[in-house]
Amino acid sequence: MTTSRQAYRLDPQRPGSDLAGETAAAMAAASLVFRRSNPGYANLLLQHSKQMFDFADKFRGRYDASIPVARKYYQSVSGYSDELLWAAAWLFQATDDRRYLDYLANNADAMGGTGWSTAMFSWDIKYAGVQVLAAKILLQGRAGAHAAVLQRYRQKADFFVCASLGKQGYGNVKRTPGGLLYHMQWNNLQYVTSGSFLLAAYSDSLAAARQAAVWCPAGPASPAQIMAFAKSQVDYILGSNPRATSYMVGYGFIYPLEAHHRGASIVSFQSNPSFVACKAGYAIWYPRKGSNPNLLDGAIVGGPDENDNFVDDRNNYQQTEAPTYNNAPFMGVLARLAAGGRLDRSIPDGT
Could you say which of 53, 77, 100 is where a domain stops? 100
Q: Are 27 and 45 members of one domain?
A: yes
Query: Which domain covers residue 335, as residue numbers?
Result: 108-239+318-339
Q: What is the pLDDT of residue 41?
A: 98
CA separation for the pair 81, 133 (Å, rounded): 16
Does residue 69 fall inside a structural domain?
yes
Does residue 155 fall inside a structural domain?
yes
Other beta carbons within 10 angstroms of residue 182's beta carbon come to 20
Q: Are 32 and 96 members of one domain?
A: yes
Q: What is the pLDDT of residue 344?
A: 43
Q: Are 96 and 122 members of one domain?
A: no
Q: What is the pLDDT of residue 347?
A: 39
What pLDDT, in 10s, does the model give residues 24-52? 999 999 999 999 999 999 999 999 999 99
Q: Are 323 and 196 members of one domain?
A: yes
Does residue 85 fall inside a structural domain?
yes
Low-confidence residues of the chain: pLDDT under 50: 343-351
Could you say which of 70, 100, 130 is where a domain stops? 100
Residue pair 250/295 in contact (Cβ under 8 Å)? The answer is: yes
In 3D, which of 112, 100, 117, 122 has the Cα closest to residue 161?
117
Q: Are 117 and 160 members of one domain?
A: yes
Residue from 146, 183, 260, 261 carrying the catalytic annotation: 260
Q: What is the pLDDT of residue 278?
A: 81
Q: Are 188 and 327 members of one domain?
A: yes
Q: Are 322 and 207 members of one domain?
A: yes
Q: Are 183 and 324 members of one domain?
A: yes
Does residue 264 fall inside a structural domain?
no
Q: Is 146 a catalytic residue?
A: no
The separation between CA 38 and the C-alpha centre of its own chain, rounded to angstroms, equals 25
Q: Are 26 and 167 members of one domain?
A: no
Query: What is the number of structural domains in the chain?
Result: 2
Q: What is the pLDDT of residue 350?
A: 43
Q: Identify residue 296 by its one-letter amino acid code.
A: L
Does residue 190 fall inside a structural domain?
yes
What pLDDT, in 10s, does the model give residues 145-198? 999 999 999 999 999 999 999 999 989 999 999 999 999 999 999 999 999 999
Burial of 165 (0-12, 13-18, 19+ CB in 10 A): buried
Q: Are 17 and 40 members of one domain?
A: yes
